[in-house]
Structure 1
Amino acid sequence: MTTTTTTPSRWKRFRNSYLVYSFKRDWIAQCCLAIFLCLLLGAICAPWLAPMNPYDLTQISILDSELPPMWIDGADPLFPLGTDAQGRDLLSTILYGARVSLIIGFGAVILQAVIGVTVGLLAGYLGGRIDAFLMRLADIQLSFSTLMVAIIVGAVIKAIFGGATYSAYAVWLLVLIIGLAEWPQYARTVRASVLAERSKEYVDAARVMGYRDRRIMFRHILPNTLSPIFVISTVQIANAIISEAALSFLGLGMPETQPSLGSLIKSGFDYLQSGSWWITLIPGTVLVVLVLVVNLLGDWLRDVMNPRLYKG
C-alpha cells in the first residue's frame, strides 16, 4: 500500500515559519506593526477619514487659523487637533501629509534598491575594473552626508526647472533626489553578499549549463541576497521620511500648499513663540512615532534574519 504525502501550501509554510514564530513572541514588534498599519491605513484612506480636504480652498477659512486642539480652551469641535496658520484642519493635513511622506519614503527606497542592487550585482559578480570603478563611485558619494547630497541635487534641480515646476512635481523630484543620495547602502551590501555567493557550487553549475551572466545574477544569486535587502529597506524607509522632512524644513521639499509631515513642521515653526505650538508639535510627534516604529521593525527583522542575534 502506497502512501501519498501532500505538500503544504505556501500560506501554511509561512504560518509555520521562524519569522511568524519570532513575531508572535515579540510584543514590541507586534505593537510597532499595529501602529505602523494604523498610520498606513490612515494615510491611504485619508480622503474618506479626513474631516476636510486641505487641497479644497472652499473648505478653508483664514478666520479659523491657529485654533487650538479640543482639549484647550477656545477650541472648535470641528477641528479636534486644531488648525494651522492657513486655517486648515490639522487632523486632515496630517492624514494627507502622512500619505505624501510614505509615498516619498517607499518610492525613494524602491529607486535606491533598483540602482544599488544592480550596481552591487555587477560589481560583485564581474569584479576587476568594473568592481573597482563602481565601488570607488559609491565611496565618493558615501564621503558626503546624505543630506548634503540631497541638498545639492535638490538645489540644482530647482535652479534648472524653476520653483513653480519644482513645486508641481515635488513628490517625484524628492523620490529622485533621496533615491540618488542613498543607493550606495544597497550596492555595498549586495556586493558583499554576491562575493560570498559567486564561488558556490550552484553558480558553477549554472555556468556549466551555459546560462548567461545576466540570468545567473538575477535568477540565481539575487534571491539568495534578499534577506539583507529587506533589512536595509526597512531602515531606509525611515531615513527617506526623515530626509524629506529635513529638506522641507530647508525649503527644498514639499511646498506648504502640498502638506507633508515635513512641510507641516516647517509651516508651524514660526508660530511657536506666538503660542500655537500644536502646528509643529503634533505633526512632529506623528513623524517621530512613524520613524520609531519603522526603525524598531527593522531592528527586529535584522535579528530574525540572523538567528544568532535573535533573543526573542
Structure 2
Amino acid sequence: MNDAPLSPMGLWQRFRQSDIGYSFTRDKVAIVSAVVFVVFALGALLAPVIAPTNPYDISTIDIMDSELPPVWMEGGDSRFLLGTDAQGRDLFSTILYGMRLSLTIGVLAVLLQALLGISLGLAAGYFGGRLDSFLMRLADIQLSFSTMMVAIIVLAVFKAAFGSELYSQLAMLMLILVIGIAEWPQYARTVRASVLAEKRKEYVEAAQVMGFGAGRIMFRHILPNSLSPVLVISTVQIANAIISEAALSFLGLGMPVTQPSLGALIASGFEYIFSGSWWITVIPGIVLVVLVLVLNLLGDWLRDCLNPKLYKG
C-alpha cells in the first residue's frame, strides 16, 4: 500500500472527485468568487512585497503629492496607480495594507465567535436541562441587541475613559474582542440544534457505553458531524465582521488614521468626495464591496453544496 503524500496534482484530482469539488467546478459564480478572493487575500498577505511604498512609514510620504488622481486621469502621476489620499500616501499601497487589516480583524473576530459559540452550543445541546435554558436565554438576550449598537457603546466608553492615544494602540484588539463576543450566539444556536440531533444517534450511545468522557464525545465525535453549518456561518460571518469593522472605522471608533483599514480609508476621504477627490473614498469603497460580495457568494455556494436536499450530483 502506497502511503506517500499526494502531489499538488493528486490533491487537486481528489478534490475534483469529491462532492464539494464536483459542485465547485460546475458553479461559475463560485469559481469567479474564489479567484477574486484569493487574489485579494494574496494581495493583502504580500502587501509588504507588492506595495510600492509603506503607508505607515512617514519618511516615504510627501504632502506635496496629496490628492493626486489615478494614473488614467488628467494630472495623474505614474508613480501612483490609483492616486494618493489627502496625506500624500499611495492609495494602492494603502488599500493593500488596509485590506490586510480588515481581513485580519474579520478572521480573528470570527475565530473568537466560533470558539465561544461552538463550546457553549455543544455544552447546551449535550447536557441540556438548566444549563441549556440559561445559555439559550443568554443568547436570546444578546441577540436582542444589535452588534453595532453594542460595539458603539463599548468602544465609545473605552475611548472616552482611557483616551484616544491608548485606544489607537489597542484599537485592533478591541475591535476583535467586541465583534467576536457580540456574535457568538449565531454559532451557539446552530451548533446546539445539530447536537440535539446527533446525540441520539447510535455512535454517541456507543461512545457513552465505552466510558468516554463528555468532553471527548462532544469534541471528537459530535462536533465533526456538526461542522457543515459552522463552515457556512463562518464564511458569512467573516463578511459581516469586515462590514462591522468598516462601519465602526467610518464612525471614528475603528482603526486610527495612521493604520487605516478599508473602513478608515473610506472615512478619511469622505470629506473630499464632493471637492473632486472622489477616488480617495470610492476606490476603497469598491474594494470593500467586492470583497464582501465574493465572501457572501462563496457562503451561498457552500450552503447549497452542503445541503443534501439541494445537492444535484
In structure 2, the partner of 1:138 is 139
Q: How many pairs does the alignment contain?
A: 309
Residue 246 of structure 2 aligns with an amino acid whose one-letter code is A
Give the TM-score normalised by structure 2: 0.95
Q: In the TM superposition, what whole-angstrom CA distance separates every residue of 1:30-82 from its partner, at most 9, and x where no partner exists?
A: 00000000000000010011011101111101111111111111111111101
| Post-superposition offset of 1:17 | 0.6
| Post-superposition offset of 1:15 | 3.7
| Post-superposition offset of 1:83 | 0.5
Residue 112 of structure 1 aligns with an amino acid whose one-letter code is Q
In structure 2, the partner of 1:230 is 231
Query: 1:177/1:40 Cα in 2 relative to 1: closer, same or farther (>3 Å)?
Result: same
In structure 2, the partner of 1:309 is 310
Query: 1:262/1:311 Cα in 2 relative to 1: closer, same or farther (>3 Å)?
Result: farther
**Structure 1: stretches of 5+ with no match in the other structure:** none
In structure 2, the partner of 1:85 is 86
Q: In the TM superposition, what whole-angstrom CA distance separates every residue of 1:91-132 from its partner, at most 9, and x where no partner exists?
A: 000000000000001000000000000110011111111101
Q: Any residues of structure 2 matched to 1:229-308 within 5 Å, and which? A: 229-308=230-309
Residue 276 of structure 1 aligns with an amino acid whose one-letter code is S
In structure 2, the partner of 1:167 is 168
In structure 2, the partner of 1:190 is 191
In structure 1, the partner of 2:28 is 27
Residue 148 of structure 1 aligns with an amino acid whose one-letter code is M
How far apart in 1 are the matches of 2:273 and 2:222? 53
Structure 1 stretches of at least 4 aligned residues deviating more than 3 Å after TM superposition: 4-15
How far apart in 2 are the matches of 1:268 and 1:277? 8
Residue 197 of structure 1 aligns with an amino acid whose one-letter code is E
How far apart in 2 are the matches of 1:303 and 1:220? 24
Secondary structure of the corresponding residue to residue 85 of structure 2: coil
Larger CA deviation: 265-274 vs 14-23: 14-23
| Post-superposition offset of 1:5 | 11
How far apart in 2 are the matches of 1:35 and 1:220? 35
Larger CA deviation: 279-288 vs 139-148: 139-148
How far apart in 2 are the matches of 1:82 and 1:305? 43
**Structure 2: stretches of 5+ with no match in the other structure:** none
How far apart in 2 are the matches of 1:118 and 1:160? 32
Q: What RMSD in Å do the two structures reach over aligned CA positions?
A: 1.8
Q: Is the 8 A contact 2:121 2:190 kept in 1?
A: yes
| Post-superposition offset of 1:6 | 9.4
Asked whether 1:109 is paired with 2:110, we answer yes
Asked whether 1:60 is paired with 2:50, we answer no
In structure 1, the partner of 2:122 is 121
Secondary structure of the corresponding residue to residue 169 of structure 1: helix
Residue 87 of structure 2 aligns with an amino acid whose one-letter code is Q
How far apart in 2 are the matches of 1:179 and 1:5? 44
